[in-house]
Amino acid sequence: MKILVLGSGAREHAIVSALAREDTAHEIVAAPGNAGIAQVATVVHLDPNNAVVVADYALAEDVDLVVIGPEAPLVAGVADGLRTRGVPVFGPSKKAAALEGSKAFAKRIMEEAGVPTGRATRAGTRAEVEAALDSFGAPYVVKADGLAAGKGVLVTEDRAAALAHADHYLQQGTVLLEEFLAGQEVSLFFLSDGSTVLPLSPAQDYKRLLDGDEGPNTGGMGAYSPLPWLPDGFVDEVIDTIAEPTVRQLANEQTPFIGLLYCGLILTEKGIRVIEFNARFGDPETQVVLPRLETPLSGLLLAAATGSLGGIPRPTFSDDVAVTVVLASEGYPDAPQTGRRIDGLDDAAAVEGVSIAHAATSRSESPDGGTIATGGRVLSVVGRGSDFRQARERAYEAVSRIRLEGAQYRTDIAARVVAE
Ligand code: AMP
Ligand code: GLY
């Protein structure tokens, strides 16, 4: 197959790597890609958010399947532009992607479908915000309604901070105030062809910047998969009570969801609750889920894109476990310092069981041709092993071999699972 992957992060690097290691050889093209992706795929410079440009390219180059990594092209309607012109695409329409882009839309779908989630109130004025904060009580959960690159949610005991966060996002529209949910978080991905869903393996990500879940929310500082502490029957329960009802509701509303349904869940004392849906693979969870996938990814993605997941067995996963540690630039997430040189990558990748997914890198223009960091989250260092102790040791050994001035990373990824 000729497969075009849109995006430039570690998630897309993990997708491209999974496609590249299948028994059947594929021609893989990524746009715009990064320095790591360029080692496994052909990189082309086209605007992934321009539906016409992407569809023109896919048709001219006889692309068999387009895989959309990030949310921006989805929200820009790139999947619609491809589907209209007959190109198989793994990624939902702009309307269905509102499941991620609009918290209010997601809440309505969950309500109609009877999907368990936290109670929430929408507020358009400061007075409404204050009333809702007081009715829910602390800790306060304040969410921007639209896409906010992982920065839209504030969970705080501090009423003044909650109000200030709400004030900021009220300038852009409405905000959502939600009941606080306590429990372990789980990311569970489903492939969906609009009616049938197939689960991938559960993962947990670490959203806060610092060890011990301190510091600001980020795009994700690490992850591990699978989750050995999940109760039996967890995945089936999520299929029955969350994924299938949601996909059915969207289909009933003529907005079929074709792509990756990311269920962000919390395991509360009262049962499983949805915290959020995303309309794409999670980052960095994908970097620990896809390396463990044994079923060829291309077949699954094409079947989802062409409405033929029905009858396909559930994807299978290796018994190996995976841990990823994200290496971020100094100053991330507020003001990352970019343009710095990264050394030791080959040394790090030489650690047994380790692979490195590039998140924001490019080849240096200088004659020595090194790699430079071009963004906040720079690398996802992935360690695999037969147990979490081994996978974790491998990942951190590799991290210790990488040199990037001012780099930040968490030291406690998957520590809890090893301790247990
Ligand atoms: P979101 O962008 O909706 O995934 O929220 C980011 C993070 O905020 C989540 O991963 C949770 O850790 C936290 N969060 C969101 N909603 C809630 C809630 N209702 N109760 C507790 N924590 C929450
Ligand atoms: N890991 C969180 C996300 O992808 O949104």
Nearest-angstrom CA–CA distance, 251 and 260 = 15
- Look at the block and give the residue holding tokens 């520590």: 415
pLDDT greater than 60 at residue 143: yes
Ligand 2 pocket, residues with Cβ under 6 angstroms:
205, 220, 278, 282-283, 285
CATH 3.90.600.10 positions along the chain are: 321-419
Residue ranges matching CATH 3.30.1490.20 in the chain: 121-178
- Label residue 391 left, alpha or beta by phi (over 0 means left) and psi (-120 to 50 means alpha): alpha
Give mean pLDDT, residues 327-349: 96
Is the pLDDT reported for residue 394 higher than 60?
A: yes
Closest CA to 255 of 264, 242, 246, 244: 246
The predicted model gives 400-418 an average pLDDT of 97
Cα of 223 vs its chain's centroid, Å: 11
Give CATH superfamily name and number for 121-178: ATP-grasp fold, A domain (3.30.1490.20)
- The span from the first CA to the last CA of the chain, in angstroms, equals 44
What would be the CATH architecture of the domain defined by 182-305? 2-Layer Sandwich (3.30)
Instruction: Report the separation in Å between the CA atom of 39 and the middle of ligand 1, taken as the mean of its atom positions.
Output: 36
Q: What is the pLDDT of residues 177-189, one digit of tens each?
A: 999 999 999 999 9
* DSSP per-residue string spanning 193-217: ESS-EEE---BEE--EEEGGGEEEE
CA distance 76 to 280: 14
Local confidence band at 8 (pLDDT 50, 70, 90 cut-offs): very high
Give me the pLDDT at residue 148, please.
61
Write out the two tokens for 29. Answer: 């093209």
Ligand 1 atom at minimum distance from 143 CA: 3
**CATH 3.30.470.20 intervals, the chain:** 182-305
pLDDT at 150 over 80: no
Mutate which of 153, 185, 280 for ligand 1? The one with the most ligand atoms within 8 Å of its CB, which is 153
Neighbour tally for 367: CB within 10 Å? 6
Confidence of residue 364 (pLDDT cuts 50, 70, 90): confident
Give the C-alpha separation, 77 to 200, whole Å.
26
Region 321-419: CATH code: 3.90.600.10
Counting atoms of ligand 2 from 1, which one is nearest the CA of 11? Answer: 4
Mean pLDDT value across residues 216-234: 95
User: What digits encode the pLDDT tens for the residues 191-215?
Assistant: 999 999 999 999 999 999 999 999 9
Region 350-358: mean pLDDT is 98
Cβ–Cβ < 8 Å for 253, 223: no
pLDDT above 70 for 366:
yes
Confidence of residue 323 (pLDDT cuts 50, 70, 90): very high
Hunting for tokens 């491209």 — which residue is that? 16
- Average pLDDT rounded to a whole number, residues 290-314: 97
d(CA 176, CA 28): 41
Write the residue with the smallest CA distance to atom 4 of ligand 2. Answer: 282
Portions of the chain given CATH number 3.40.50.20:
2-94
Report CA(151)–ligand 1 centroid distance (Å).
Answer: 11
Distance CA 157, CA 235 (A): 32
Distance CA 286, CA 12 (A): 9
Which pLDDT score, from 0 to 100, does residue 149 have? 56
Phi, psi for residue 242 in degrees, rounded to 5: -125, -60
Asked if the 2-94 domain carries CATH number 3.40.50.20, the reply is: yes
Q: What is the pLDDT of residues 229-271, one digit of tens each?
A: 999 999 999 999 999 999 999 999 999 999 999 999 999 999 9
List residues near ligand 1 (CB under 6 A): 118, 141, 153, 155, 178, 180-181, 185, 207, 217, 264, 275-276
How far, in Å, CA of 5 to CA of 281, rounded?
Answer: 12
Give the chain's mean pLDDT.
95
Tell me the mean pLDDT in the region 53-79: 97
CA of 205, closest atom in ligand 1: 10
pLDDT digits (tens, 9 = 90+) for 14-26: 999 999 999 999 9
Give per-residue pLDDT as tens, 270-284. Answer: 999 999 999 999 999
Per-residue confidence band for 102, with pLDDT thresholds at 50, 70 and 90: confident
91-100, 139-148, 253-262, 375-384: least confident range: 139-148
The tokens 């920065």 sit on which residue?
151
Q: Relative to the CA of 103, which ligand 1 atom is closest?
A: 3
Nearest by Cα to 326 from 406, 395, 390: 395
